[in-house]
Amino acid sequence: MPPSPRTDTAARILDVAERLVQVQGFNAFSYADISAELGIRKASLHHHFATKAKLGKALITRYQDRFRDALAEIRRGASDAPTQLKTYARLYGNVLRKQRMCLCGVLAADFETLPRAMRDGVLSFFALNEEWLTNVLEEGRRAKTLRFEGSAAPIAAFLVSSLEGAMLLARSYGRVSRFESVAKKLIGDLAMVS
């Protein structure tokens, strides 16, 4: 299994499917929706992704790969921990500004209806986020740019779930500012300088 879509057509299918899932959820979109938008017959879509489950898994894999790259990029920036957290939150905000939910956040709502491979992918995405945040938190505490009590891991879990929840409600309200407000508070409560 290749790490990225083999062909350009596969990538375009993933682009459309990704947006449809982020906006409507996994159970509300269909091959017919993609077909209509790309001008490609449903049967051709099945040539690239034999089943909806495999398409879903490919979506998660690509999404996570891109996210991993973005997280590594933030680390390479070598800014202080509070700034890294702000940049991290902006990743979420950028998704929301496109009127979308986090792919894995929306799949978490569909979780019980997903095939196992997709469930594993969703959990893996959250784990990636929490591991990255745990490192940033610990580094920030050592550098005295962040302040918090106890282990970093539960704080990381707290941050991920709070940001996902903030996205969920902000999109329903149609107010990105609701998300920004939560993100600002989360980071402000951790930063030593503020």
- Where do contacts with DNA occur on this chain (CB under 7 A)? 6-7, 9-10, 29-33, 39-44, 46-48, 50-53
Q: Report if residue 143 touches its own copies, rule: CB under 8 A.
A: no
What is the Cα Rg of the chain in Å?
Answer: 18
Q: Tell me which residue of 10, 23, 160, 18 sits closest to 99, measured CA to CA.
A: 23
CA distances from 41 to 8, 36, 178 (A): 16, 8, 40
Q: Which does 52 bind (CB under 5 to 8 A by kind): its own copies, DNA, none?
A: DNA
Q: Which does 42 bind (CB under 5 to 8 A by kind): DNA, its own copies, none?
A: DNA
SS3 77: coil
Q: How many CA atoms lie within 13 A of 102 on its CB side?
A: 28
To its own copies, the closest distance from the beta carbon of 78 in angstroms equals 29
Closer to DNA by Cβ: residue 113 or 181? 113
What distance, in Å, lies between the first and last C-alpha atoms of the chain?
Answer: 46
Number of residues that bind its own copies (CB under 8 A): 40
Q: For binding to its own copies (CB under 8 A), which residues are involved?
A: 23-25, 27-28, 101, 105-106, 108-113, 119, 122-123, 126, 154-155, 157-158, 160-166, 168-173, 178, 181-182, 185, 189
